[in-house]
Each structure stands twice: as structure tokens, then as C-alpha cells.
Amino acid sequence: MKIREIIVVEGRDDTTAIKRAVDADTIETNGSAINEATLVKIKLAQKKRGVIVFTDPDFPGEKIRKIISENVPDCKHAFIPKDLATRKNRRGVGVEHATPDVIREALSGAQLMAESVKEEITQDDLITAGLVGGEGSKERREKLGRILKIGYTNGKQLHKRLMVFQVTREDFAAAVKSIRQEEQNA
């Protein structure tokens, strides 16, 4: 699988994992130590070929994603669920621990973040769906992030993430229905 866009990752091990999964070029941020020179490279890559931001599903990865989004508009974003970014008997979570299949799946679901956001889903919808403020809400958010390919986020950030990725009311409802069916079958 050849990827046209340049993939922004955190480090050398992530690049190795990406190259095992797909034919692609990467830019490494050197973890959360992302600097102005790296941002300039990412801006140039975005102009020339496009960029997919593919950081680890943890706090530093989200911080890097936010810095890039604020400085380089119109990047695509790919996410891996936390449970698929770990290896047995290994510490840490990250792209480097994901299998080639998981990486390919995440890259195929890369999405553009919207500049202007229209509220399709309200905070009340999130409460009604059991995604915030209740027992099991974290697990439901993890499942929702996986189904919609928007990554995991905490309850406070979920509404914003849904708006930024322009998740439609229909897609949200279908994902919630799928989660409820899974819970009933468990």
C-alpha cells in the first residue's frame, strides 16, 4: 500500500513500524520536543504532498497533534485505539507497538479536521448515549472512537472532537446503536 501523503510520527521506532506496514515517507517530531524547524518541514510537506498526523494514543501524542493542528491547517489525522497500540510484556503505548494491519487500517481511515465546525451532536446527546458522566462511559467512548475512527478522548473533549471531525448525526446514531447492541449481546 503506497501512501501519497507524508506521515508525521513521534520517533524513529514509529517510522520503522510505518515502513513495515506501508510504502510511505515520514517526518519525526522527536516526541513532544517538536520545534519550529520541524513545523516548517511539516508545513512544506502539507503544501507539496499533504500530511497525515499519526501520533501515539496518549497525552503527549495528543499534545503533539494539537500543536501541529494549530500551526499546519488541513492535515489529515489517523488514530489507533490504545489497546491496539500496546504489546504483551512491553511497557508503553504507541504506534511502534501496532501491527502492520492495525497501521494500515488507521491510515485508511485518516480524516480531515474541519476549520469551521457545525454542531450536529449536542452535549445532551452525549449524556443520553451514556458517553459522559456515568458508569461505563469511558469504555463507550473508546468504542465510539474506534467505530468513527476519531480516536479516544475524555468526556470533556468528546463533543469538540465530534464537531471537528464533522461527525454527522446519522453516523453518531449508528455508532451508538452498534455500541448498545454489543452491550446487550455481552
> What one-character-per-residue DSSP string does 155-183 give?
HHHHHHHHHHTT--HHHHHHHHHHHHHHH
As a whole number, mean pLDDT of residues 45-73 equals 92
- Give the count of alpha carbons within 13 A of 41, CB side only: 14
CATH 3.40.1360.10 is held by the domain 6-112? yes
Q: What is the pLDDT of residue 88?
A: 66
Name 23's bridge partners. Answer: 2
Give the pLDDT band (50/70/90) at residue 90. Answer: low
Cβ pair 74, 112 in contact under 8 A: yes
For residue 25, the cross-strand partners are none
pLDDT score of 34 more than 70: yes
Among 155, 73, 153, CA closest to 115: 73
C-alpha cell at 184: 446487550
Predicted confidence at residue 35, as pLDDT, reads: 93
Distance CA 62, CA 161 (A): 12
Q: Coil, strand, or helix at residue 143? A: helix
- Please state, in angstroms and rounded to a whole number, the distance separating the CA atoms of residues 171 and 145: 12
pLDDT tens, residue by residue, 127-143: 999 999 889 999 999 99
**Closest CA relative to residue 143, chosen from 125, 157, 131:** 131
Q: What is the mean predicted confidence (pLDDT) over 46-54?
A: 95
pLDDT at residue 116 tops 60: no
Which H/E stretch holds residue 6?
strand 6-9
Q: Where are the domains of the chain?
A: 6-112, 123-185
pLDDT at position 89 is: 59
- Judged against a pLDDT cut of 90, whether residue 68 lies above it is answered with yes
